[in-house]
Amino acid sequence: MLEGMRNASRHGKARTARIEAVRRGNLIKLLVEDDGVGFPQSGPQPWAIHSRVAELGGRLTLTNNQSSGARLEIEMPAGQD
């Protein structure tokens, strides 16, 4: 979540951002949305976030918001309690 907020500010030039974290059963779902410049159409995924999510067996989805900004969704196993 911290890296998502850093990226929104540093790379996305966002003025505002929102984070949502939810646990549903054995999954953790994270959402980071901002009002910045969005992701390049054919650019690579943010390396630091992508590698951490992959290492934990998760999935990362990046999209640009309808009006402006970016939307980053992460879904990964919650692990043991």
How open is the CA angle 11-28-14, to the nearest 5 degrees?
A: 20
Contact 21/28 with Cβ under 8 angstroms?
yes
Domain map (residue ranges) of the chain: 2-77
Instruction: Give the model confidence (pLDDT) of 63-79 as tens digits.
Output: 887 668 889 999 999 97
Looking at domain 2-77, its CATH architecture is 2-Layer Sandwich (3.30)
Instruction: Give the model confidence (pLDDT) of 18-37 as tens digits.
Output: 999 999 999 999 999 999 98
Residue 33 and residue 80: Cα distance in Å, rounded? 28
Residue 47 and residue 65: Cα distance in Å, rounded? 20
Contact 5/23 with Cβ under 8 angstroms?
no
Instruction: Write down the pTM of the prediction.
Output: 0.79
